[in-house]
Amino acid sequence: MDTLQLNFLPILVIGFAASLSLTPISRAIALRIGFVDKPAARKLHSESTPLLGGLAIYIALAFALIVFSPPQHMREFAALLSGAALLALVGALDDKYNLSVRIRLVAMTIAALVVIAAGIRVELFGSLWLDVPITVIWILAVTNAVNFNDNMDGLAAGLTGIASGFFMVIAFTQELSLVSALAAALLGSAVGFLIYNFNPARTFMGDMGSLVLGFVLAILAIKLEFGTQPLGVTWMIPLLVLALPLADIVLVLITRFVEGRPLTQGGKDHMSHRIMSLGLSQRKTIAVLYSFCFVFGALAMVVSLAEPPIAWTVGVLSLIALAIWLVLMAMIWQRARQKR
């Protein structure tokens, strides 16, 4: 193991301390310039809440990585931070001016191409003509999935913290220094912000933060490598770690398509809203979703460490359980519609 692999703890601490310190500053700036999220029918908060929390998250993440960046990872970290900076800027403009979906997708695609140019890409087929489009689609999917889950106090930051924590541990077991460092920085910056974002939230990250979190999680999943597990097993690991945001975006898009609504139109049809419709409070709903993330993260750990036959069985059964969960969420939605 190299020095960075063993020293991911200082990166985590620096990311956490920076985010914890910068979030109140970003909140004060947001209040000073009127950069706030106002209540609306599809939103859960009842008072105007300052945005710009994403600024604190990005700066904390960048600071932790820059301070500890070794020469061998500098190119990839620079590409990642450049792509994340673009998404933070576009996210801030979207928070303020409500940009079109096309502009946001173009920005995400450019950010994906930046990291691909630095050598960060999915390597399934060994062909650029196939692997590059798959990489772009994956990055767009995960980035939007986390953005979709920024719909309840503490949800996006919490699921990011849990997912990056599991990525960090898995990377450590596989001696992946870049992934463990990046995951540690993301974990620290997400949890530092979560202190102020947990219900009742004192500040929001906005698209400026959720796009950055989703983008970095997508990169973490791509950079995971396994020396002993076959490809037939390893592809399931990032899906399980990111089960909540990916399942939620699939569920929401299918629901809106079936109901004939615009796919990009916001609404209270996310997994969090469906669970809350059973009568649970925001905090209890968050507890259920955090537990969901921990369970599937733990299953991903088992798949990453077990012998291939056992790993494949656990992975497939986990995905079947995820499918059953989606059916349950669909039934809850139908019940809520009938009540209305």
Residues 158-177 pLDDT 10s: 999 999 999 999 998 888 88
Neighbours of 331 (CB within 10 A): 11
Query: What does the alpha-carbon distance between residue 148 and residue 263 come to, in Å, rounded to a whole number?
Result: 11
Mean pLDDT of 196-205: 92
Residue 287 scores a pLDDT above 90: yes
Helix ranges, 127-176 (H): 128-148, 155-173
Q: Is the dihedral of CA 193, 196, 198, 199 positive or negative?
A: negative
Residue 336 contacts residue 280 (beta carbons within 8 Å): no
Residue 23 in this model has a pLDDT that exceeds 60: yes
Which pTM does this prediction carry? 0.94
For residues 53-74, give the mean pLDDT: 89
Give the model confidence (pLDDT) of 110-133 as tens digits. 999 999 999 999 988 888 999 999
Query: Which run of H or E residues covers position 24?
Result: helix 8-33
Range of the domain at 284: 3-339
In the chain, how many domains are there?
A: 1
Q: What is the pLDDT of residue 339?
A: 65
Mean pLDDT of 150-157: 95
Cβ(84)–Cβ(61) below 8 Å: yes
Residue 5 clears pLDDT 60, i.e. is over it: no
pLDDT of residue 264: 82
pLDDT of residue 250: 95
Q: Is the pLDDT of residue 41 over 90?
A: no
- Which pLDDT score is estimated for 217? 98
Q: Is 70 helix (H, G, I), strand (E, B) or coil?
A: coil
What whole-number distance in Å separates Cα of residue 119 and Cα of residue 283?
A: 41
Mean pLDDT score across all residues of the chain? 91
User: Phi then psi for 179, rounded to 5 degrees?
Assistant: -65, -45
CA distances from 76 to 5, 138, 175, 295, 316 (A): 16, 18, 17, 31, 32
What are phi and psi for residue 106, nearest 5 degrees? -60, -45
The amino acid present at 201, given as its one-letter code, is A
Task: Please give the average per-residue pLDDT across 75-103, as a whole number.
Answer: 95
With a cut of 80, say whether residue 48 has pLDDT above it: no
3-class secondary-structure state, position 50:
strand
Give the pLDDT score at 219: 97
pLDDT score, position 71: 73
Confidence of residue 340 (pLDDT cuts 50, 70, 90): low
Q: What is the pLDDT of residue 322?
A: 97
Rounded CA gap, 55 and 26, in Å?
7
Give per-residue pLDDT as tens, 259-269. 888 888 878 88
What would the pLDDT profile of 10-21 be if each residue is shown by its tens digit? Answer: 899 999 999 999
Residue 140: how many CB atoms within 10 A of its CB? 19
> Does the structure show a pLDDT above 90 at 203?
yes
Helices and strands per DSSP (H, E), number in the chain: 15, 2
